[in-house]
Chains A and B, each alone.
Chain A
Amino acid sequence: MLDVAKPITPLVQVRGLKMYFPIYSGILRRHTGDVKAVDGVSFDIMPGETLGLVGESGCGKSTVGRALLRLYEITGGTVEINGTDVATLGTEDLRKARPQMQMVFQDPQASLNPRMTLADIIGEPLNEHTDWDGDRKLARIYELMDAVGLNRRFANRFPHEFSGGQRQRIGIARALALNPRFIVCDEPIAALDVSIQAQVVNLLEDLQEKFGLTYLFISHDLSMVRHIADRVAVMYLGRIAELSPRDALYARPLHPYAEALLSAVPEPDPTLARSRQRIILQGDVPSPANPPKGCNFCTRCPKVFDLCRQVKPELAEVEPGRFVACHLYSDPTAAGSTGASTANEHNQQGVSL
């Protein structure tokens, strides 16, 4: 899967994606500002690849996933999926494009209609997008249930009769119904118990291999993303901080935020957990309605220097295949002089709480 390098064209191409939610205030409900949930995000996803999208709550990762499938009318940028720009498609064309892009939602309880049976739920996309007769549909529903490991006897049961893990399987079967090429998995395991998470992740991997699926895997669980993703994008406050191949990122994160985020993940090993030097970030994430003037991370960054507070860094390739939006890397003069000295300063700050 890692060999899907240069010559193949990406299945998903996102350029400068912006998603602003307007704020209206005052008696006249005048448009007074925007929550910049996603503010200029660009990335590619290769066919058959899993791109992990990680970040803390409110960083815009779910918004990216939903904007990609045009569940929102995006503010700016282009989203090309399989050669068509879904950002500008008309209603009817968009409907025709929908079968190739599907979504698995976080909360399997909320994303299944409690009054529909399992067969109705999985068959609904077929009603909508095919003119098949009942028998053919039922055959397809059974096929899908087999694929996700649901017993065929359950076809006439309702969602409340299933456990969380099984409900997530129903959601996955529904997403697969129309043979999509691209699936956005929005925190598909966050609501599940630890022992059930592994079952669902293994299922997603099996299905990817079997049907040649391409995933955008959105999660805040960095250990699970390390397991499932080929490349990982780390988001902070609406922008991508770092986009790197999985092993490179986890071995040596380049962006200071990626570094802090990884160091904050508790490791299930008592000896390691007690010996590890952690970077404890101070403070909270700023509001996306009023992001800092320079780099979005400049208010909490341990390696911050003057330039960071003035100019937003652009995402740039600093090593083959590794993209980082940070002045430490993008500006050679800064990285040479200021960067080195602030790096030392950072270490001292990181240790003392």
Chain B
Amino acid sequence: MADGAAPVLDVRGLKTVFRTRGGEVHAVNSVSFHLNPGELLGVVGESGSGKSVTMMSLIGLLPSPPADVRGGTVMLGNRDLLKISADELRDVRGAKVGFVFQDPMTSLNPVFTVGNQIMEPLIRHMGMSKKQAQVRAAELLALVGIPDAAARLKSYPHQFSGGMRQRVMIAIALACDPDVLIADEPTTALDVTIQAQILELVKDLRQKLGMAIVWITHDLGVIAGIADRVMVMYGGQVVEQAPVKDLFANPQHPYTRALLKTIPSLTGEREARLQVIEGQPPIMTGAPAACPFRDRCAHAFARCFVENPERRAIDGCEVGKGHDVACHWVAEVAHA
């Protein structure tokens, strides 16, 4: 990891609030992270933990209202994406930041050919002619491992299988050679053998193209296999962040520890009983003034109920660079 190089994406104190009839929901609460060139950052969390909303906020994909991106900075290179106009942002999306969504069927337009959809960003962002775009589109399809690419450009999305459609989505996201690729649960809708194909493809593409990737998932197994660094989210906040090996070998936050224990292993010791995390994930209404995990935490004590913990490094590095965790218990008890 090139730690010395300037990060391609640097997010500080991002806050997103949804205005609902039941009050304000703090979906993303002071999230900070950065993405180094060529790095794959894994973002793990359950549904409602704010992992997708964070990524959607930073490239302006959330409808407003109800969403309201309240604060923070999102530096892509030397531009703050939260400050630029909607037009400029449209140039960033697709050209500088590529997006792969979970469900390849609903994110492809069924009435246009696949070739048409790959060519669209090439013509829009790269100023290519239709002919040039067609040639490039065929190259892209071949790059993501679709056989007989030139002929397949004329096919419609329904003529592809789920795994093939996700390959097409990746081709579209890569079309303009983006600096950052955001992949939101790209393999969740796929079968395991097809997931293995896509993961292999992404590894291969990283070697060839060297772009930085944010990979959102709830599957710790997937993260273990491909990520360089992992950020664990809970209740709209980053609760732990570490290099992938540290996180799995030495998890700190009680949530991370519990989460790793709830998954049964495929090869290791078979437990007679699964460990559970009691209770439900929180709904973040009202200003977060306490630790979001307090009600489910086995180690919670008085301070957890009155003060939201800040992220603190446990290895002496700057927060965000090494292994850091937002937990009073870790700060006061575990490392006292």
Contacts and interface: CB of A to CB of B under 8 A. Distances in A.
A217 B180 CA distance: 41
B66 interface: no
Contact of A264 (B164, B196, B262, B281): B196
A223 B276 contact: no
B106 interface: no
Interface stretch (B110-118, B130-138, B217-225, B328-336): B217-225
B220 A227 contact: no
B103 to A, nearest CB: 13
A265 B268 CA distance: 13
Given A202-B273, A270-B224, A353 B266 contact: no
A163 B47 CA distance: 12
Interface string B264-284: 111100110111111011000
Contacts of A56: 191-194
Interface stretch (B19-27, B197-205, B318-326): B197-205
Contact of A274 (B47, B225, B259): B225
Contacts of B262: 194-195, 197-198
B276 A195 contact: yes
Interface in A190-207: 193-199, 201-202, 205
A280 B197 contact: yes
B224 A195 contact: no
B195 A264 contact: yes
B297 interface: no
A165 B264 CA distance: 18
A195 B204 contact: no
A266 B219 contact: yes
Interface in A261-290: 261-274, 278, 280-281, 284
Contact of A273 (B161, B192, B224, B281): B224
Contact of B264 (A196, A223, A261, A274): A223
B84 to A, nearest CB: 35
A163 B48 CA distance: 12
Interface string B222-259: 11110000000000000000001100100000000011
B163 A353 contact: no
A269 B223 CA distance: 9
Contacts of B220: 194, 268
B75 interface: no
Question: What is the size category of the interface that chain A forms with chain B?
Answer: 35 or more
A270 B248 CA distance: 7
A284 B163 contact: yes
Contacts of B265: 223, 226, 267-268
Contact of B218 (A193, A201, A223): A193
A220 interface: yes
A269 B245 CA distance: 8
B46 interface: yes
Question: What is the size category of the interface that chain B forms with chain A?
Answer: 35 or more
Nearest to A278: B196
A343 interface: no
A224 interface: yes
Interface string A200-218: 0110010000000000000
B281 A193 contact: yes
A111 interface: no
A266 B222 contact: yes
B277 A220 contact: no
B260 interface: yes
A194 B224 CA distance: 16
A193 B46 contact: yes
Interface string A169-199: 0000000000000000000000001111111
Contacts of A344: none
A265 B196 CA distance: 8
A274 to B, nearest CB: 7
A186 B270 CA distance: 23
Most buried by A among B161, B163, B196, B260: B196
B86 interface: no
Interface string A228-269: 000000000000000000010010000000001111111111
A95 B165 CA distance: 44
B129 to A, nearest CB: 34
A138 interface: no
B281 A195 contact: yes
Contact of A260 (B163, B193, B280): B193
A250 B244 CA distance: 26
Closest A-B pairs by Cβ, 3 of them: A266-B221, A56-B191, A264-B196
Interface of B: 46-47, 161, 163-164, 191-197, 199-200, 204, 218-225, 244-245, 248, 258-260, 262-267, 270-271, 273-278, 280-281
Interface of A: 56-57, 163, 165, 193-199, 201-202, 205, 220, 222-224, 226-227, 247, 250, 260-274, 278, 280-281, 284, 353
Given A195-B281, A227-B270, A280-B197, 6 more contacts: A266-B192, A267-B265, A280-B193, A280-B196, A281-B197, A284-B163
23 contacts: A56-B191, A195-B258, A197-B262, A198-B274, A199-B278, A220-B191, A222-B192, A226-B265, A264-B195, A264-B196, A265-B266, A266-B224, A267-B265, A268-B220, A268-B223, A268-B263, A268-B265, A269-B248, A273-B221, A274-B225, A280-B196, A284-B163, A353-B204
